[in-house]
Amino acid sequence: MVTTVTGDERTDIEPETPIRLGTDVETEGEIDLPVAEVLTGRAFATGKSGSGKSNSANVVAEELLERGFALLIIDKDGEYWSLKEEYEILHAGADQECDIQVSPEHGEKLASLALEQNIPIILDLSGFFDEDEADDLIYETARHLFSKEKRLKKPFLIIAEEAHEYIPEQGGSDVANMMVRIGKRGRKRGLGLFAVSQRPQDVKKSYISQCDWLLWHRLTWDTETKVVRRVINKETANAVTDLEDGEAFLQADFLDDPLLRVQVKRMRTFDGGATPDLDGFNEPELKSVSDNLVGELEDISEREEQRKNRIEDLESRLEDRQDRVEELEDRVERLQDLRSMVESVDGIGETEAATVPGDLTVEIDGQTVSSPEVIEAEVLEIREENQNLREERDHLEQTVEEQRGEIEDLREQLDDLEWIDGHVDEIEEATRRLADIVGLDVDGDSGLQATLQEKNERIQELEAEREALASRVKEFEEQPPNESRGSDSIITTGKEDLDRLFDHEVVKGEFELAVEEGSYAMEKYKKLLATVVNSGSDGVTPQAAAKVLSVSDTTAREVMRDLRNCGFLRSEGNRPEAFYLDRNRLDRRVDVADQM
């Protein structure tokens, strides 16, 4: 049971208590939504500005927070901070008003806090001037949520404002592909998505059609009401233009009536998205989060800052050395011209020349200038120092890569050991049931008892190894990385490209996930990907792929689309279109992963 405060009244709410959304406009009956459907389902709310769609999203967020559930709010315009008036929620973003300033490197930690420590999070994007950085932050956080939910399967909801930017009808950025994947595959992992947008015509049609429940607030433009006509009917499309503020048509698979006109209740907390009037507003007192929680995120920021500073220092030193080399080379050229003049003319001004071999200096009007040989020696010395700096940088890159690889290996081992640790009782129970089936006396058979004792001892050893591995993972994570991957593309051309591609753990992991979620065997995907890689800039058509895979054109097209949906391929042209390796997207994914 979760105890919460609502206004001046203290209430006790069970987590499974249905969510009170509002009332039926016709019958004035109360409208309740099942908590499990809201947490793990697909939902969509739309309406023009001021119609009440964000209020509806806030109501859902408040009701889940009242019941003790964590959630993630992707807040494009910085409107949800007011939830902190009543709830302890982590406000993460890019400006000083947030509890913590975050970047894409914080994505995994934010996902861990949300799922493993039950910390609700507002991801405030309003302070980011670089939209690519904001998109990378959403991508990294959503990717880790999706990945972790494969094991945890904890009911968890993502609320995404301005969803037409993250689940677009057109386009296929990394973050869009990730959000679409969550919309399609998240439910079976316990990960729900509530998309909010004032432009329904720009949200992916397949997402809207697959939603478990939808809220249609007031819409007025023809392009918007056409969506209502397509999804519901013409009568509702005509009526949606006349809805009052806060009213909406509710569609829900889990309600007896498939379509209701409802009045959504007002949010309890301050409306952070309200348009200010001439008198301004009094900002409410906000609840703060744990200092320890913020400290963990600040440690990540500090390590990332140290890494960036080290890189900038190396680049600055290399740039200074290069400038010095160019300056000295220019002096060598000018002095060589001067030597020729000295040797061919009896005198220039009061010119005198020293005769020390190998260290000739020239004195011109009282100023002594080193000979070209001396300057060339200095140039060679600086170039040697440049080479040493480059070797140091390459060594740092290699060290970081090795550390990241070892961390991933340790994490995989740790996951295996944690699974064994969490299923000890089930294993013992299954052993006893098997013994009953085959007629063995588990308790009386000394040999079997000894075997079970050995297994228990082995489990204890594995638990000790798990603890040691967890400690090593923590040590590696706390070591500040020194350098990121170089700027070379991970793909060039040639037969060995596919092996080189899978040398990157992040790419290999996403490929395995794509295969797991696809409908065909791994070998088909791998064989097709190798064919596309080796095709270079020519691309591969479904007809050509069908011959390689020995399948029908339709099956080949489906295999290629699976890889495209997961970001490995891109396509151009109409049927029969050609598919190409999405090199830019893969390079960006590796760059983002290397910066973590």
Instruction: Write the single-letter amino acid at 106.
Output: H
With a CB cutoff of 8 Å and minimum separation 6, the contacts of 404 are 481, 505, 594
User: For residue range 219-268, what is the model confidence (pLDDT) as tens digits?
Assistant: 999 999 999 999 889 999 999 999 999 999 999 988 888 899 999 999 99
Equal fold, 22-268 vs 497-594: no
Per domain, the residue ranges of the chain are 22-268, 304-385, 405-478, 497-594
SS3 track for 514-545: HHHHCCCCHHHHHHHHHHHHHHHHHCECHHHH
The pLDDT, as a whole number, for residue 502 is 72
Query: Which residue, 73, 80, 41, 69, is CA-closest to 182?
Result: 41
Structure tokens at 362: 């020239």
**Sheet with strand 213-216: strands edge to edge:** 30-33, 19-24, 259-264, 247-252, 213-216, 42-46, 191-197, 156-160, 71-75, 121-124, 90-93, 100-101
**Whether the predicted pLDDT of 494 surpasses 60:** no
The pLDDT, as a whole number, for residue 303 is 60
165 to each of 76, 176, 191, 196, how far by Cα in Å? 10, 8, 20, 10
User: For residue range 365-383, what is the model confidence (pLDDT) as tens digits?
Assistant: 444 555 556 666 666 777 7
Max mean pLDDT range (74-83, 472-481, 580-589): 74-83
Lowest mean pLDDT of 129-143, 360-374, 457-471, name the range.
Answer: 360-374
Percent of the residues in the chain that have a pLDDT greater than 90, as a whole number:
29
Q: What is the mean pLDDT of residues 527-537?
A: 82
| Burial grade of 86 (CB within 10 A; 0-12, 13-18, 19 or more) | buried
Dihedral sign computed on CA atoms, order 314, 315, 319, 322: positive
Instruction: Write the single-letter amino acid at 203.
Output: V
Q: Determine the Cα–Cα distance for residues 79 and 98; give it in Å rounded to an integer.
A: 12
Q: What is the mean pLDDT of residues 171-185?
A: 86
Topology classification of domain 497-594: Arc Repressor Mutant, subunit A (1.10.10)
Q: What is the mean pLDDT of residues 547-573?
A: 79
The pLDDT, as a whole number, for residue 357 is 44
Q: Determine the Cα–Cα distance for residues 193 and 180; give it in Å rounded to an integer.
A: 10
**Whether the predicted pLDDT of 328 surpasses 50:** yes
Q: Which helix (H) or strand (E) holds 93?
A: strand 90-93
The pLDDT, as a whole number, for residue 300 is 58
With a CB cutoff of 8 Å and minimum separation 6, the contacts of 352 are 363
The pLDDT, as a whole number, for residue 69 is 95
**Cα angle vertex 339, ends 338, 341, to 5°?**
65
Dmax (CA) for the chain in angstroms is 116
Q: What is the mean pLDDT of residues 140-159?
A: 93
Q: Kindly indicate the confidence band of residue 280, based on its pLDDT and cuts at 50, 70 and 90.
A: low
The pLDDT, as a whole number, for residue 579 is 86
With a CB cutoff of 8 Å and minimum separation 6, the contacts of 273 are 54, 77, 79, 80
With a CB cutoff of 8 Å and minimum separation 6, the contacts of 61 are 71, 73, 80, 83, 159
**Whether the predicted pLDDT of 349 surpasses 50:** no
**Whether the predicted pLDDT of 68 surpasses 70:** yes
SS3 track for 576-595: CCEEEECHHHHHHHHHHHHC
The pLDDT, as a whole number, for residue 513 is 75
| Burial grade of 335 (CB within 10 A; 0-12, 13-18, 19 or more) | buried
Lowest mean pLDDT of 1-5, 65-69, 234-238, 430-434, name the range.
Answer: 1-5
The pLDDT, as a whole number, for residue 38 is 95
**Whether the predicted pLDDT of 408 surpasses 90:** no
Q: Determine the Cα–Cα distance for residues 591 and 483; give it in Å rounded to an integer.
A: 11
Q: Kindly indicate the confidence band of residue 483, based on its pLDDT and cuts at 50, 70 and 90.
A: very low
If phi over 0 gives left and psi between -120 and 50 gives alpha, with beta otherwise, what is residue 192? Answer: beta
Dihedral sign computed on CA atoms, order 47, 51, 53, 54: positive
The pLDDT, as a whole number, for residue 576 is 55
With a CB cutoff of 8 Å and minimum separation 6, the contacts of 133 are 103, 104
Instruction: Write the single-letter amino acid at 135.
Output: D
- In three-state secondary structure terms, 275 is coil
Q: How many CB atoms lie within 10 A of CB 575?
A: 8
Q: Kindly indicate the confidence band of residue 36, based on its pLDDT and cuts at 50, 70 and 90.
A: very high
Length reported for the chain: 596
The pLDDT, as a whole number, for residue 54 is 92
| Burial grade of 553 (CB within 10 A; 0-12, 13-18, 19 or more) | middle
Contact at 8 Å (CB) between 110 and 92? yes
Q: Determine the Cα–Cα distance for residues 362 and 346; give it in Å rounded to an integer.
A: 14
Query: Which residue, 389, 413, 403, 411, is CA-closest to 594?
Result: 403
Q: Kindly indicate the confidence band of residue 7, based on its pLDDT and cuts at 50, 70 and 90.
A: very low
Structure-model confidence comparison of residues 323 and 298, the more confident one = 323
Q: Kindly indicate the confidence band of residue 272, based on its pLDDT and cuts at 50, 70 and 90.
A: low
Q: Which CATH number fits domain 22-268: 3.40.50.1370, 3.40.50.300, 3.40.50.970, 3.30.1360.120?
A: 3.40.50.300
The pLDDT, as a whole number, for residue 95 is 87
**Whether the predicted pLDDT of 573 surpasses 80:** no
**Whether the predicted pLDDT of 352 surpasses 60:** no
φ, ψ of residue 289 in degrees (nearest 5): -105, 170
Residue labelled with tokens 């409208």: 31
Q: Which helix (H) or strand (E) holds 46?
A: strand 42-46
